[in-house]
Structure 1
Amino acid sequence: MRRFTLFMASLILTVGVALAQRTVRGVVISADDNQPVIGASVRVKGTTLGMSTDLEGRFLFKNVPTNAKTLVVSFVGFKTQEVPIKPEMRIILLGDTSELVELVISGYGSAKSIANTTASIVKVSSKTIQDKPVPNVFDALQGKVAGLQVFTGSGEPSQLSSVQLHGTGTLSSLSSAPLYILDGIPVSAGTVMGMNQNDFENVQVLKDASATSIYGARAANGVIYITTKKGAVGERASITVRGKYGASSLANTDYFESMMNAEELRQLYFSMGLKGFATEEDLAKHRKAFPHDFKWYKYFYRDSAPTYDADVAISGGGGRTNYYISGGLHSSAGLRPRSSYDRFNMRVNLNSSLNDYISFGLKTSVTYDISRSTFGNRNSLYGGLGHTTLPYYTPYDKDGNPYYGEVIPNVGIADINYVADMLPSRSTSLNVSSVANVILKPIKNLTLSATAGMDLSDDLADASRKPSHFQAKGNGSRSLSFGRSANWTFSNTAEYKFSLADKHNFTLLAAHEYIESNDQGFSASGIGIVDDRILMLSAVTKEKNLNESKSEYAFLSFFGRFSYDYLNRYFLDVTLRNDASSRFHPDVRNGQFWSVGLMWKMKQENFLKDASWLDDATLKLSHGTSGNAGVGPYDYIATSVASTQYGGVTGWGIGNSGNQKLTWENQAKTTLGISLRMLDFLGVNLELYNRVTTDMLMDVPVPYTTGVSTVMSNVGSYQNRGIDLRLDANILKSKDGLNMAAYFNFNYNKDKVLSLFQGRDRWEIANTGVAYVVGKPLMFYYPIFKQVNPETGYPEWYLPGDNVDITTKDPNRITSNMSPNLNQNTGVARYAPVTGGWGFNLDYKGLYLNADFTFALGKHLINNDRFFSENALLFANDGNVSRAAANFWKKKGDIVQLPSVEAIVKLGRNRFMEFDTRMLEDASFMRLKNLTIGYQMPKSVLAKQNFFKSVKVYVTGRNLLTFTKFSGSDPEPNSNLVIGGNPNTKQMSVGLELGL
């Protein structure tokens, strides 16, 4: 009986203790973006129980005493909160503006707070890139990141921007672009361009070696990491509907308005005695016969090309699963007739946790786009006619009808709408991108992850000439090309975290990655089509051509990272990666890349703790290497190709001589940075970098006796060094709701060639006017124009010295005879040394105004259009000219830029303007890139009803103002010269966003 009593007492006591404990689970959410807070500290007040939230912001306590009433939740950058304990909890942390914090991708493994990473990473939020009036996320990044340059050089709606980080870094155009990562897998720039930017959660730019070295191969030019949105955890479904309508027009009409009108042109003829204009009667007769003064650029380019956007997104989550589903469409007409770009998007993102140890995710997007373009650049038949067609002619007959289907009298071309109809062309692209991952947590502090991704695209392009075209004469043509690309990525990581003595914190990462790419192409063409209704290859009867291509390559990588911090004050990151690429011979295909990053949180030191004016101070130093394999998949292999037939027999020749020593291009980068935040007002981030590229991949010229003109090789070295500066200021925070914040980005980059190849000190790129010179940046090499002699009217150029790499302007050594031998170093560098952006955000009780400016200083371009518009009278016969063409020498004492007619005739040049420094113009500019005015309905107003969660209406514009001395169509393109083509555009749009 006594034993039974003791047993029952023990049982009751045990049950009582068990009942005195409970399970508490929950999730921690950021109030700023409604996303999980990873790594937040969750502590049961009054006990020793505590833990950090996982990758989904979740926490779980299985033994919380019943007498415990409160949880204490904290995280850097958020206000610490105490909340009553419940079995199921959803805790929303409010941002603490006194702390600067962002979660960033650390390159595989778990995300880190930016305050705890040694890497240089800039994070651009979705608010910055959405609602822009163009379907180009890269264009939205321009001016937002110090050192990141984005060039959009065309008004074609489907135009892909060119992106550079901290200069070119290499002499090869094939290998100068950043590496693009989408949700953990590498993708092409075209894949990113085709996506709906409203699906982006953020875009992160990884700038230094500590950030990029873990990507090893292909990361030499920086990494742009894009994270897409996911659903809110533990919240009912929310629906966001967006719509936008706008119009595009020429960004710069001054370029066209600088051309002469009809009367100015007649007076110029009269003053020069050309075209039979000898008397006033001749002028009067011409005015009567051709009374028009037609602006041809308004005929070639639409004044208002419409754009449409619409998308809907559904997000939410219940239990352990969250989702984000979206669909959208974009349609924009080009400025030229029949040119357009249409895009359809769908995205599904799912994340789920089966339990506390297993979770998985799937992110899939599908994009289908259709683009149509017409004409081409200035050198094509129609490309430059909007600039130089004679203004006293018109494309309409006496009744105002267009000359559709026939040649326009006196102009020699057909109606452009007719040409677009008779020469239809179209390209389509289908892209599927998908990422699946599984995360396991078998034991405490250990995380295993497996990721599989694919990036697939099918591209189809077709072009035809209808047989009814007046020049086809019943003999139509057809061409068709098809390309398929498949990129597969498989990666596995193991990450282990542990601490010693609550002071020493360690993170170890080991990983493996395999990437495979397969490309296949097919093209066919022929002529002989006789019926407009059958524009098919099966209808061609002659000149049939078939081509097929295949290629593949792969990367195999093993890498790891060691991270350590002491007292959350001193940080060390070390990465090591080995990449093997099939693009190189087996003997040299392995490359090793590494980095070391250090960080010191100075604010935590005793000598700064009490500095109330200083909110944060951090010093960073990193050094490391990364690689570049930007060559063709078979450049190291010798190949032969079938050449054209001779005597009915197919000949064979050398296609590629091969180079079995071809290997990785290497880059070493050192970055020193300091970040300060003061008085909860001003943030300063300053970085100094030195980037040296060696063993550059480039085509090296070889003697033609070898059977080829160039061989891809590893040669030379190149340096970029510079300064990145970013300032952020909270200018105004008033109690009545008026807020203003501003930012300023600045980059100074100085590039220099350290060595070339074959013992050369200079390498001039044929037909470009630019050259690489050891010890100098990429320079323009042109004849240096001195003047038009005021006494004689003859042009004068400086004679180069014995060394053309030294700029020589000896007034005693001049010539009036133009010759290629006059080329010398102009002293003008190809790339702008100073770039950046600035802007501000202003809001008051829901009303807001955002403005973004970009700028480039010291930029120069060859304005090739001047060769046409200032020479048209003399070598192109019938063509309009700019008003500058009237500024030629006429009498002694004239100070002008163009020589006399007599001089150029005697010199045998027959042109006013030559390719010399007169066409080398200062293309520095400042541009109002984006301007948005909108109204976001306050939550206090929305609380009065239950249907709308958010309402926003806005008007936005792009490229609205440009300040520049450049006389060409646009100063932005990333090229050595600009010539006609499809000029850049400006847009205005009105948009509506509803949250349901």
Structure 2
Amino acid sequence: MRLTAAILLFAVLHVSASGYSQRITLTMHDEPLEKVLKAIEKLGNVEILYNNDLVRQVEHVTVVVKDAGVDEALTMALARTKFDFKVVEGILIISPREEPAPVKPEATAPPDEITGKVTGLDGKPLAGVSVVNKTRKYGTQTDGAGVFTIAAGEKDVIEFTFVGYGTQVYRVTGKAASISVVMAPQASNLNEVVMIGYGSSQRRDLTGSVSTISGKTVQDIPFNTVDNAIAGKAAGVQVTKTDGTPGGAVRIRVRGTASIIGGNDPLYVIDGVPMQVQSSYVNQGYDVSNPVGNDITGQGGVSQGMSTAFVNGLNSLGGLNPDDIESISILKDASASAIYGAKAANGVVIITTKRGKKDAKPQITANYYTTVTGIMKRPKVLDAQQYKMLLTEAATNDNAARDKASMKHLPQADTIVNDPGHFFGASNTDWVKEVTRTSVSHTAEIAIQGGGNASRYYSSISFTSMPGIVKGTDYKRVVGKINLENEISRKFRILTNFNIGYTNQNIANGAYDQALKARPDYTPYDSTGNFYNFSNVGYSYQGFQNPVALLTAINNSKTTSLLGSLSAVYDIIPGLQFKSTVSLNNQIYNQRLYTPSYLQIGSFYGNISSNGGIGGNTNSRFADWFVENTLGYTKEWNEKHSLNILAGTSYETLKTSFFSATATGYPNDNVLNSLSSAITPLYTKGDEPSRPQSYLVSYYLRANYTFMDRYLFTFTGRTDGSSKFGPDNKFGYFPSGAIAWRLSKEKFLAPVKWIEDIKLRGSYGLTGNQNIGDQKYRTLYTPYSYAGNNALVPDQLGNPAVKWETTKQTDLGLDFSLFQSRLQGTFDYYNKQTDDALLSLPVPPSSSYSSLLGNVVGIRNRGVELMLQGDIIRTKDFRWNMSANISWNRSIITKLNKMANLDGQLLNPTGLEYQNTTLVEGQPLGLITGMKVTGIIKTQKQLADYKSKLGFFAGYIFPTLDIGDPMYQLDTVSYAQYGAAYPDFHVIIGQGAPKYFGGFTESFSYKNFDLNLYFLYSQGGKLMWADDVSSTTFVGTSNANVSMLKRYTAQNTNADRPRLLLGGDQLMYNTNLSIYNSSYLKLRTATLNYRFDKSGWMTRAGIQSAAVYLSATNLFTITKYPGNDPETSDDSYSVAGGYFDVSNYPAVRTFSMGIKIAF
């Protein structure tokens, strides 16, 4: 926290307070001249007279000026018309331009024509730049290729202005036939166009809480998925990687968690098409299985060992190419997101992709980069010598403990102690090295954009091939993008948008997990060259397999996604527009599994032989059709009032289907291993509905009113009717309201010249969540076959009272821009309350059901967000910009039904254990439950006292309890069936959620070089480290982490870890000994870019711009966490927890090199 505060203070102190004068900033593209003149009148507070009939004949005018005078704005507006203006007694008069009289021979020759090109710092041409000859008072603008032509004589001053960029001035010296101008971005974003629900708005006019990320920010870093590019860029948005799996999903939370069993991912709206993240939590068929982790019936679920990025679903955003993105807007409060009603409780992420430009020549952009990937931090496990020493110690201790307790020795312990030559192997294998590699990936992209007088287009295709650092894993993706806009007439146009993505992923089968556990004295291959047979059997957490052999199992997933829309837009009358859209989000997912005959299947019942091979297929289909009609009206009058109204209706149908089959008896492991080759079917399951499972019909209205550009009001109302709820609860109502006050427009702040803009805002509203799966309110049956007979058996007990999860949110915010936009910031306080979150309740076993769904949980998220950005140094050749954000969020369980139960067993009378977290009324969400070690028994008195507390259960639970063993905190609860005190060891041992988190960016530009540094940080969270849990003692003979070396011995009596035993499963619990602080500060990405100056060879080659770049990720991490990476989660879709580091796939460090060329 001190580091963050110091950085923010440094940014503030380095912002200079220069003078300020109010001028006109206006951006209008392809608008009627009359509308442009009215806008200039209003902004410039001037009077303009013109002939309406003549002016209305001009329907296509573009004006883009930044901090410019009225005369400059008019010059640009009239540049391509037959009109001119003059000032008469303070009034601007527009009149037809007079034809110049013929130049007499003796007259002075006209100025020379100067041709030039304007580009940004990245070398890309800038279209629509205002080019004004300040000396002669006329101007023009650049075309789609950034080219302009203007008349200028010697010593004339030419000024270049463009929204979002600093003004450039060029003084003509002598005769200059061609000039090049490079414009640098300006820190001010007050006039930035921000995408909001069903439209856009200038940032200065927002009444809600919206964070934006520019497409350039996303594209500057060679990330292959969009979600990774969001991390640390927006206040209130927490992005957590699960692991280093290529193409894997990440965990995204906007202002905390609002649901327990429903989805908590935000709604994504991609070019107007809504897309809800799919996972096994809300839809069947989206879980990803591990072929060596399920039992032979196929019902074992997923096992430990598979990459957690895929456990409950594939990355729903994997089919998007980050380089296609124009901007990202994140709607966080109710005012901004309520327009999406039933889907907006977890926030809305609006992704807008690139479009073509009118009257622009085709521009082709090519981008290629290659990436070298390696392990960020290598794990430290016992080598063969350490392993043999500690396992022998554990076996010796175990025999002595059993002798003392009059118990039989474990045969394995006697073999280790008495015949080590037979038990131990002679190798010293580094299994992590055997299953990992340094990988090289490639990404190639090409895009073309442009347009004519009545159309514009953007099209791209990209290919990515990314081998994982775990052998046998990889990620391939092909993405195609087409955006078209065609103007059929002056009032009617059609917009077409298609994004087609294909991903092919080979997912880890547990090889890395097993490499951390495999005995180092074993070898991958036997003397015959076959895989060495690890013959250990037992429970899945006891046994282990040959990690190298595991690499040969097949776990392949393919996804084909189509995201498309077709829109028709009709301008009925000036200010009134109708839009109709039909869109489709279609995803097809296929997973193929195969376990070779020489491997074993791990399950809770022990490792089962896969003789004959075991394989299967899972196919899922998801089709979301969306039809929407909107009517928008905009009106401004009396120079004081502005009204914008949007009304709409939409209809959505969602259909999912899946089929899964598992079989055995494959003729050959290498060739005939497809499902059709199997002899014996083991398990099938599927759901192929004849009609959509869910429907959603919606009606919505939004009204924005502005008075004197000072007082802003927004009202939004939405009604959603969903088939997911019973007859009495189908409809949900989601209103919101917001007000904003622009203090900088008040007279009392007028003398304060260093204040550019200050705005106070507040909002309150309701949003909903229906991402809970289908038919939850109904009683359902499922087909079942037994002894050749078919029947329907109870599957789900319905509850017609199930209703919407509704979230009420209050937001108070402050937006400011100071020192001529050198310092800008946003502050938000929010309170987000969900009173009716769904949870499963227990029912009597005699009912044939296990649970009943009910709205019984209350969750409150309360927090503060701060964002600052500053232009610290700005000179001709050097710029230093910085942006930083910090977020505090605290999630509290405000209500919890005392009998709530998720898995059929009451685990804690004060709360409920859910996955690796506990829900307790009045306590934060994200608690980690387990057993709390209060110390190690070191004396006979401590041993006697502890046994006395345990009573009868001392010998029942811990029969070999002795000095060196842990003491656990006890909670005594009376259970009637025992008639006595029963020791309950489950207590709260950690809080997973961080106290605050955020990120900051340092951007440096010197001449042709750009350096961007992106930092992430998190403070105050906790993680349970699974490898440390399994390294407390030996359960079986698996290897362990080097933390085991810190165990209690007669020579190390100050240890806080227990003595070693063999088969000591009574000592291997989730305890506070394995809870670690997960705070960190990391340099997430660093990118260095060099832009080539345009030279003769580039011109001859037809190259407009070229740049090369170097980029790296995870260069360093400052943390006390001993595991692989503190930025991790055991489940990217986890609804309540995720604070468990299972280390199934290592975090990675990457180095990339690439080149971008524009033709």
> TM class, shorter-chain normalised?
0.7 to 0.9
Select 1:689's aligned residue among 822, 830, 838.
830
State the match for 1:481 in structure 2: 618
State the match for 1:9 in structure 2: none
Tell me the CA shift for residue 418 of structure 1.
Answer: 4.6
State the match for 2:265 in structure 1: 177
Q: 2: distance between equivalents of 1:694 and 1:685?
A: 29
For the 8 Å contact 2:129–2:142, the answer to whether it is kept is no
State the match for 2:240 in structure 1: 151
After TM superposition, the structure 1 stretch with the greater mean CA deviation from structure 2, 350-359 or 788-797, is 788-797
Q: 2: distance between equivalents of 1:216 and 1:500?
A: 31
State the match for 1:882 in structure 2: 1041
Q: 2: distance between equivalents of 1:305 and 1:666?
A: 46
- Give CA-to-partner distance per residue, 1:764-814, whole Å, 9 cap, x none: 12563523223544423333222224445444546446799xxxxxxxxxx
Q: 1:720 to 1:394 in 2, by over 3 A?
A: same
Which letter does structure 1 place at the counterpart of 2:551?
A
Select 1:541's aligned residue among 679, 685, 699.
679
Select 2:435's aligned residue among 296, 300, 323.
300
Q: How does 1:587-736 map to 2 (within 5 A)?
A: 587-645=728-786, 647-679=787-819, 680-735=821-876
Which letter does structure 2 place at the counterpart of 1:494?
L
Q: 2: distance between equivalents of 1:161 and 1:291?
A: 42
Q: 2: distance between equivalents of 1:31 and 1:283?
A: 86
Q: 2: distance between equivalents of 1:915 and 1:374?
A: 25
Q: 2: distance between equivalents of 1:566 and 1:515?
A: 37
Tell me the CA shift for residue 41 of structure 1.
Answer: 10
SS of the residue corresponding to residue 343 of structure 2 reads coil
State the match for 2:1077 in structure 1: 922
Q: 1:403 to 1:967 in 2, by over 3 A?
A: farther
SS of the residue corresponding to residue 911 of structure 2 reads strand
Select 1:786's aligned residue among 910, 931, 934.
934
Q: 1: distance between equivalents of 2:983 and 2:222?
A: 45
State the match for 1:824 in structure 2: 987
Which letter does structure 2 place at the counterpart of 1:177?
D
Residue 870, structure 1, aligned to residue 870, structure 2: no
For the 8 Å contact 2:645–2:704, the answer to whether it is kept is yes
Residue 165, structure 1, aligned to residue 244, structure 2: no
Residue 247, structure 1, aligned to residue 372, structure 2: yes
- Give CA-to-partner distance per residue, 1:186-220, whole Å, 9 cap, x none: 11444422211101111111011111001101100
- Give CA-to-partner distance per residue, 1:560-581, whole Å, 9 cap, x none: 1111001111100101111000
Tell me the CA shift for residue 343 of structure 1.
Answer: 0.6
State the match for 2:918 in structure 1: 770
Q: 1: distance between equivalents of 2:743 and 2:648?
A: 32
Tell me the CA shift for residue 607 of structure 1.
Answer: 1.3
State the match for 1:407 in structure 2: 533
Select 1:309's aligned residue among 439, 443, 448.
443
Residue 839, structure 1, aligned to residue 995, structure 2: no
Q: 1:892 to 1:392 in 2, by over 3 A?
A: closer
Unaligned runs of at least 5 residues, structure 1: 1-15, 33-37, 50-62, 70-76, 377-381, 805-817
After TM superposition, the structure 1 stretch with the greater mean CA deviation from structure 2, 761-770 or 686-695, is 761-770
For the 8 Å contact 1:24–1:87, the answer to whether it is kept is no
State the match for 1:93 in structure 2: 162
SS of the residue corresponding to residue 111 of structure 1 reads strand
For the 8 Å contact 1:630–1:697, the answer to whether it is kept is no
Q: 1: distance between equivalents of 2:59 and 2:573?
A: 20
Identity of matched residues, %: 23
RMSD of the TM alignment (CA)? 3.8
State the match for 2:551 in structure 1: 420
Q: 1: distance between equivalents of 2:74 and 2:664?
A: 66
State the match for 1:393 in structure 2: 522
Q: 2: distance between equivalents of 1:887 and 1:441?
A: 75
For the 8 Å contact 1:403–1:415, the answer to whether it is kept is no
Select 2:658's aligned residue among 512, 517, 521.
521
Q: 1:888 to 1:462 in 2, by over 3 A?
A: closer
Q: 2: distance between equivalents of 1:881 and 1:191?
A: 35
Tell me the CA shift for residue 290 of structure 1.
Answer: 6.4
Q: 1: distance between equivalents of 2:141 and 2:1158?
A: 30
Q: 2: distance between equivalents of 1:673 and 1:514?
A: 34
Q: 1:525 to 1:785 in 2, by over 3 A?
A: closer
Tell me the CA shift for residue 834 of structure 1.
Answer: 0.8
State the match for 1:12 in structure 2: none
- Give CA-to-partner distance per residue, 1:42-75, whole Å, 9 cap, x none: 57764799xxxxxxxxxxxxx9622499xxxxxx
Q: 1: distance between equivalents of 2:761 and 2:1141?
A: 41
For the 8 Å contact 1:869–1:881, the answer to whether it is kept is yes
Unaligned runs of at least 5 residues, structure 2: 1-50, 68-72, 89-93, 101-127, 149-160, 167-185, 278-314, 400-411, 538-542, 601-607, 901-908, 941-962, 975-980, 1130-1137
Q: 1:695 to 1:247 in 2, by over 3 A?
A: same
State the match for 1:980 in structure 2: 1143
- Give CA-to-partner distance per residue, 1:880-917, whole Å, 9 cap, x none: 3333323233338821112345xx79xx9566654221
State the match for 2:115 in structure 1: none
Q: TM-score, normalised by structure 2?
A: 0.73
Q: 1:124 to 1:730 in 2, by over 3 A?
A: same
Residue 200, structure 1, aligned to residue 336, structure 2: no
After TM superposition, the structure 1 stretch with the greater mean CA deviation from structure 2, 608-617 or 238-247, is 608-617
Residue 260, structure 1, aligned to residue 389, structure 2: no
Q: 1:442 to 1:648 in 2, by over 3 A?
A: closer
Which letter does structure 2 place at the counterpart of 1:573?
T
Q: 1: distance between equivalents of 2:893 and 2:443?
A: 45
Residue 66, structure 1, aligned to residue 97, structure 2: yes
Tell me the CA shift for residue 686 of structure 1.
Answer: 0.7
SS of the residue corresponding to residue 483 of structure 1 reads strand
For the 8 Å contact 2:1084–2:1114, the answer to whether it is kept is yes
Q: 2: distance between equivalents of 1:369 and 1:830?
A: 33
Select 1:339's aligned residue among 461, 473, 498.
473
State the match for 1:450 in structure 2: 580
SS of the residue corresponding to residue 442 of structure 1 reads strand
State the match for 1:7 in structure 2: none
SS of the residue corresponding to residue 885 of structure 1 reads helix
Q: 1: distance between equivalents of 2:422 and 2:1079?
A: 41
State the match for 2:152 in structure 1: none
Tell me the CA shift for residue 169 of structure 1.
Answer: 1.7
For the 8 Å contact 2:435–2:515, the answer to whether it is kept is yes
SS of the residue corresponding to residue 983 of structure 1 reads coil
After TM superposition, the structure 1 stretch with the greater mean CA deviation from structure 2, 578-587 or 537-546, is 537-546
For the 8 Å contact 2:76–2:141, the answer to whether it is kept is no
SS of the residue corresponding to residue 599 of structure 1 reads strand
Q: 1:407 to 1:288 in 2, by over 3 A?
A: closer
Q: 1: distance between equivalents of 2:615 and 2:1048?
A: 51
SS of the residue corresponding to residue 217 of structure 1 reads helix
For the 8 Å contact 1:466–1:472, the answer to whether it is kept is no
Tell me the CA shift for residue 731 of structure 1.
Answer: 1.2
Q: 1: distance between equivalents of 2:504 and 2:1075?
A: 37
State the match for 1:138 in structure 2: 227
- Give CA-to-partner distance per residue, 1:659-704, whole Å, 9 cap, x none: 1111111011111111122223222211000000121122223332
For the 8 Å contact 1:954–1:991, the answer to whether it is kept is yes
Q: 1: distance between equivalents of 2:430 and 2:804?
A: 54
State the match for 1:27 in structure 2: 62
Which letter does structure 1 place at the counterpart of 2:913?
I
State the match for 1:326 in structure 2: 460
Which letter does structure 2 place at the counterpart of 1:456?
N
Q: TM-score, normalised by structure 1?
A: 0.85
Select 2:717's aligned residue among 566, 572, 576.
576
- Give CA-to-partner distance per residue, 1:450-508, whole Å, 9 cap, x none: 11111112222222345687997872443122222111111111111112322111112
Tell me the CA shift for residue 597 of structure 1.
Answer: 1.0
For the 8 Å contact 1:266–1:283, the answer to whether it is kept is no
